[in-house]
Chain A
Amino acid sequence: MSTEHIRNFSIIAHIDHGKSTLADRILEITGTVSDRQMKDQLLDDMDIERERGITIKASAVTMNYEHAGKNYMLNLIDTPGHVDFHYEVSRALSACEGALLVVDATQGVQAQTVANAYLATSVGVELIGVINKVDLPSAQPEITAEEIEHVLGIKKQDCFRISAKTGLGVQELLDALVTLLPPPTDLSGEPTAALVFDSINDDYRGVICYVRVFAGGLTLRQKIRFMGAGRTYQVTELGKFSPKMSAVDRLGAGEVGYVIANIRQLSDVTIGDTITDDSNPAKRTLPGYVPPMQMVFSDFYPGNNTDYPKLRSAFEKLALNDASFSFVPQNSPALGFGFRCGFLGLLHMEIVQERLEREHNIDVVQTAPTVSYEVVTNDDNVKKIDSPSELPDLSHIKELREPFVRLEIITGTDSIGGIMKLAESRRCRLLKTDYLSQNRVMLEYRAPLAEIVYDFYDLLKGVSHGYATMDYEFTGFEAGDLVKINILVNKVPVDALSLIVHRSVAESRGRRMLVRLRKAIPRHQFEIPLQVAIGGKIIARESIKPFRKDVTAKLYGGDVTRKMKVLKRQKEGKKRMKSIGAVQIPQEAFMSILDNSD
């Protein structure tokens, strides 16, 4: 097929604005999926995605559509909808010429709508504005259209008003997609260049690469080369998702599909790499993607040290399906052997946690999530650290830099006050206030990532009664007056409980951490002193009083079986905690240090 009849597009939207429903409707109208033979929201693959209502992995579906007597091939490339997955969105968008920007008419433009629209524009993707859920009584399509025009510069009269649920306006939208979005540039005569925009691991077929062919073409049994990795393979299968995998002999320029080529491990494939013909290679690689950037780190230790190999193999399996997740062995003086894991964001971390529990059934102790820092040592070396425990002695440090983000918050005007107060308490600096309409405003902040990564979103939802949305984008590292808070439990410093914070809040944070820990660590047989130290100086102490009485009064012949069961349960309870010397620390305690609430 000539590229003239191909349209590659994405749907981008804030979570729950109807992206997956619209995708379903398009699949139906094009006859790709007949009478709902598949589950709702077809493109969401994994259980967790479906449960959380979000999409983790981008998927691609090829459809046929007839318009004005001509057959078109439509390739829908799905994108994740959450703030943590910027990187995956950028990968998917780069494989498209256009995108449908979906906004819920009952909610209006949200922070992720803006972030995704900026991202699309930055990779040169043409946008079509779509106002969804216009059938609902609470829909405000005109106000929404004004917001879209005001914030995103798409003219309000050009926005399509649809209901993905009922199908209203979707046919017209499809026609517009064909007429308004540009086709791929025809580079069929050039040497092969195909972009890998995603990859998954299949238990039976090995690694499957999602590709967009930009130039030349891919054919069965072709000897291909991954230009970045420098590896060569022979294509064993080519195909498209329709939406099931269906094999083809050739993927031509402008087309989207999959490649299987005896690739053993997901880690052998770099997302953003260019596939070319080994004997007739492209002159240069396609404009690359930014590699995934892990922003949040947390240590995982097996509850029981003998489970270390089990934990390693679980992480290996998780990494097979998730190229954005990383793990490296870690040895903590207090907690023993474990792994430092890197995540795109907190939600990504929670997803990995859940999969670890659900699919691998291992008791783990996890430390409080932290961001990474840049340390400039006295000899001007710059070193990145992903954990407070790696921080060198202060006397060796010239400068400590923390990550900053551009934070966008969209909210109703009535909660501005609360949000500004919250942002101020987290060292955020207001850059811009932009009224989207009479009642809604967009606030732009420069914010330290460490201050917003953990509980900020929940607090934001709290002060705005659930209405505010936020998105953020990493902008760079900047020096700050940062100090490390050390916690001593029973006089032993526990590295896994340390935290890097701004000096201005260090003392109050430290005291609060002690109060949290006193509540989270159960009473023991002896008194446990808790101390907090900043820069070697103890600034506060607390103690956990021992329990005074814990003994069964009567134990005679008839009580043995029951009593033994009770004692075993008591012992089991201890096992789920991590021993530091004679002190047992439960999982909640490690997380409690980040609890900043009163």
Chain B
Amino acid sequence: MNVEKSHCEQSGLYVHIPFCEAKCRYCGFYSEPVRNHNSARLVSAIITEFQMRIQTSFSPQTIYIGGGSPSCLPQEQLSRLVGEITSRWPKTDEFTIEVNPGQLNKTSLSQLRKMGVNRLSIGAQSFDNTELSFLGRRHSVENIQKAVDAAKKAGFQNIGLDLIFAIPGSTLASWEHNLMSAIDLGVQHVSTYALTYEEKTPLQKAVEAGEVKPVDEETDRLMYETAIEKLEKAGFRQYEISNFAKPGFECRHNLNYWANYPYIGVGPAAASFWNDNRTTNIAEINTYIEAIGKGESVIEESETPKPLQIACETAVLNLRRRCGIYIDEFQKQTGYEVLKLFAEPIDKYGELGLIEMTDGRLFLTREALPIADSILCDFSDV
């Protein structure tokens, strides 16, 4: 791949805000309590990183501010960041901010909407206060409803909710209730994630100590299948293993990842895939700010995957989409013929009814989705 190609393709910009009000019990990502830091310094550093790293020719179609929780930034800092972004890249198709319920009021949401933010991703997680407190979330069910209401009133017509299932203590019935609550709020997008037990998290330790019992595999699967069933019935389309949208409301920024197209990530711990390089920024906030202050590179890790590795990554990412791999597109993008490169797993899983091919697309079947990793691993390497 070369620079020209990157220009003519889709690309995305991601901005990472590693602040949280408080750490959730299950979260394994790097983040710090916002009250311990000077958010103005971080926003300034991020703006400087735009100037340092990004060429003027870069023109992302999508922008995504994620975290942590960007919504825990003080309003003036969030506005400063959004203002800087929209003045640099005034024409984007999709501009998302992740929002935690209870963190932004209607006035601030209106302001963001007016500045050009056109999509909100709300970290609802559950419509059961017991489950929310189990997860260590600081919001209530009421906060979610208010947040969605405020967002709508502020003029947002593209709102997504994140939900977590297989929470210890939950049942199929409680999960159905969560799903129906999300559907009833009239949002355009739902992401459903099975609770994962990340290493070294308080939740993981509680499981090891026998204090918490994970939901059994069979229920986990039933919950996942229920999500697909209920959401599709409500007019959502599953377009990726964990993502559902009303037609036309698929998250384009995330689709860019699954297409394995380039993106630039700015801010502490943000990852980029640019000019065939995968890089990750310094994670620790102060070290990041100091490096920016000295005009030094903030890239902590860098890897240049070989074309074959990129082809494998592309296949794995593409296959997470319900549309799967576009066979012609894959060859143009990677230089490899997918049917030859992965002949063995394609045959094997074709026979087992886990992979299908129609209309020039190769995709996982409905039955394959809950066990996708066991199949995708055979595409991770050749």
Contact = CB atoms under 8 A, between A and B. Distances in A.
A525 B354 contact: yes
Given A557-B263, A557-B273, A567-B380, A549 B220 contact: yes
B352 A567 contact: no
A564 B311 CA distance: 12
B320 A555 contact: yes
Contact of B374 (A550, A553, A568): A550
B271 A558 contact: yes
B221 A549 contact: yes
A560 B377 contact: no
B376 A548 contact: no
B194 interface: yes
Contacts of B280: 558, 561
Nearest to B345: A571
Contacts of A564: 309, 312-313, 316, 380
Contacts of A136: none
Interface string A551-573: 11111111011011001101100
Nearest to B369: A551
Nearest to B278: A561
B351 interface: yes
Contacts, number: 106
Given A558-B271, A567-B377, A571-B378, A551 B241 contact: yes
A558 B218 CA distance: 30
Contacts of B313: 560, 564
B352 A554 contact: no
A547 interface: yes
Contacts of B348: 582
A526 interface: yes
Contact of B370 (A526, A548, A556): A548
A91 B193 CA distance: 70
B170 interface: no
B209 interface: no
B164 to A, nearest CB: 9
A574 interface: yes
B226 interface: no
A582 B380 contact: no
A556 B218 contact: no
Given A548-B218, A557-B273, A568 B377 contact: yes
B380 A558 contact: no
A553 B375 contact: no
B370 A551 contact: yes
A570 B278 contact: no
B224 A556 contact: no
Contacts of A551: 194, 241, 369-373
Interface string B355-382: 0000000000000011111111111110
A557 B378 contact: no
A526 B263 contact: no
Contacts of B309: 564
A225 B233 CA distance: 91
B303 interface: yes
Which of A525, A549, A555, A568 neighbours the largest number of chain B CB atoms within 10 Å of its CB? A549
Contacts of A526: 352
Nearest to A554: B193
A549 B193 contact: no
A549 B317 contact: no
B265 A558 contact: yes
Contacts of A561: 271, 278, 280, 303
Nearest to A567: B380
Interface string B49-82: 0000000000000000000000000000000000
Interface residues of B, number: 48
Contact of A571 (B14, B271, B380): B380
Contacts of A570: 373-374, 377, 380
A571 B381 contact: yes
A558 B378 CA distance: 21
B211 interface: no
B6 to A, nearest CB: 15
Contacts of B278: 560-561
Interface string B191-223: 001101000000000000000000001101100
B257 A549 contact: no
A458 to B, nearest CB: 33
B14 to A, nearest CB: 6
Contacts of B354: 525
B265 A547 contact: no
B117 interface: no
Which of A551, A553, A564, A567 neighbours the largest number of chain B CB atoms within 10 Å of its CB? A551
Contact of B271 (A547, A553, A555, A557): A557
A474 to B, nearest CB: 46
Contacts of B369: 551
B242 interface: yes
Contact of A548 (B221, B316, B351): B221
Contacts of A563: 316
Nearest to B192: A553
A567 B382 CA distance: 12
Contacts of B129: none
A584 to B, nearest CB: 11
A552 B374 contact: no
B254 interface: yes
A23 to B, nearest CB: 53
B242 A554 contact: yes
Interface in B233-287: 241-242, 254, 257-258, 263, 265, 269-273, 278, 280
Interface in A506-552: 525-526, 546-552
A426 B305 CA distance: 59
Contacts of B370: 548-551
Contacts of B14: 557
Interface of B: 12, 14, 193-194, 196, 217-218, 220-221, 224, 241-242, 254, 257-258, 263, 265, 269-273, 278, 280, 303, 309, 312-313, 316-317, 320, 348, 351-352, 354, 369-381
Interface of A: 525-526, 546-558, 560-561, 563-564, 567-568, 570-571, 574, 582
Which 6 A-B residue pairs are closest in the complex by CB-CB distance?
A567-B380, A558-B271, A570-B377, A553-B193, A548-B221, A567-B377
